[in-house]
Chain A
């Protein structure tokens, strides 16, 4: 069972993540998107961006670093082999563009127990190099109950 006391816990900010143009293109290919804004810097500039624009689910790359913090926290007792992704949300102030240097800070917003399963909701605030909000990634993990022996 996940330790309910981790509700409200804030983890240290991640190392700055520099969003690369080729990484944005690679991610766009991986989610089968041919949108020119993800691939073509000229198209992105014509639309008013400084470089290619990341697909909407790109912040998962940063959120993953924060989830690793949670999994590494032995006090939290989250057993990764029992984790199922319950839901996911991204709320943006502006799109991510190549050249952004992003930092994520995760807060565990809720821990609930339901029929032996634990539901852990976390919110990762992602800001740019100037400290301005870019996107918040909210995720609920369901940690399945251990089978009774």
Chain B
């Protein structure tokens, strides 16, 4: 485990980009998430079932995308605080091709700071294929 520098609340400024990351989803990612979360809806691992309900094919769980989008933020915060609030709107699905997978990008910027509560609102921009897949995606981090 590499020693990382923890973020310091006083050093943050609104508009700072704190994370830019691209994450690769494969069918394996979806199956692993199904097992860990208990969400075994077959539209997340069977193309035939997905197509039978009018979808192009297997989709990522919305909650997988939501979870993965928060992970770089958790890694960045480390022991400097914790996620007090996290909300998203699921605006577009993420189809995951059986061989090509899907590439999702996550950008996190500082949206607001509250020096009294020592909280930072982190706004996430989560994109697939040039389009936003999570709307109004915000975390509130409480710094200790």
A interface, CB within 8 angstroms of B: 23, 26-38, 40, 43, 46-48, 53, 55-57, 60-61, 64, 81, 84-92, 94-95
Q: Say yes or no: A32 contacts B29, CB within 8 Å.
A: yes
When chains A and B are docked, how far (Å) is the Cα of A94 from the Cα of B82? 8
B130 contacts the other chain (CB 8 A):
no
B85 contacts the other chain (CB 8 A):
yes
* CB-CB contacts below 8 Å: B63-109 with A: 63-64, 66-68, 70-71, 74-75, 77-79, 82-90
Whole-angstrom distance from the CB of B44 to the nearest CB of chain A?
Answer: 12
Whole-angstrom distance from the CB of B107 to the nearest CB of chain A?
Answer: 16
Q: Say yes or no: B90 contacts A88, CB within 8 Å.
A: yes
Q: Say yes or no: A30 contacts B36, CB within 8 Å.
A: yes
Q: Say yes or no: A56 contacts B1, CB within 8 Å.
A: no
Q: Say yes or no: B83 contacts A92, CB within 8 Å.
A: yes
Q: What are 26 A-B contacts with C-beta separation under 8 Å?
A: A27-B36, A30-B29, A32-B29, A32-B68, A33-B67, A34-B71, A35-B71, A35-B78, A36-B1, A46-B79, A55-B74, A56-B70, A57-B70, A60-B63, A85-B63, A87-B89, A87-B136, A88-B66, A89-B88, A90-B85, A90-B86, A92-B82, A92-B83, A92-B85, A94-B82, A95-B83
- Residues from chain B with a CB closer than 8 A to the CB of A87 are 87-90, 136
When chains A and B are docked, how far (Å) is the Cα of A30 from the Cα of B64? 8
- Nearest first, the 10 A-B pairs at minimum CB distance are A31-B67, A47-B79, A30-B36, A33-B71, A89-B87, A57-B67, A56-B83, A35-B74, A87-B89, A35-B75
- Residues from chain A with a CB closer than 8 A to the CB of B37 are 27, 30, 60-61, 64
Contact among B23, B36, B67 with A26 in the assembled complex (CB-CB below 8 Å): B36
Whole-angstrom distance from the CB of B32 to the nearest CB of chain A?
Answer: 5
Whole-angstrom distance from the CB of B69 to the nearest CB of chain A?
Answer: 9
Q: Which residue of B lies closest to A85 (CB)?
A: B62
B interface, CB within 8 angstroms of A: 1, 23, 29, 32-33, 35-39, 53, 62-64, 66-68, 70-71, 74-75, 77-79, 82-90, 136, 139, 144
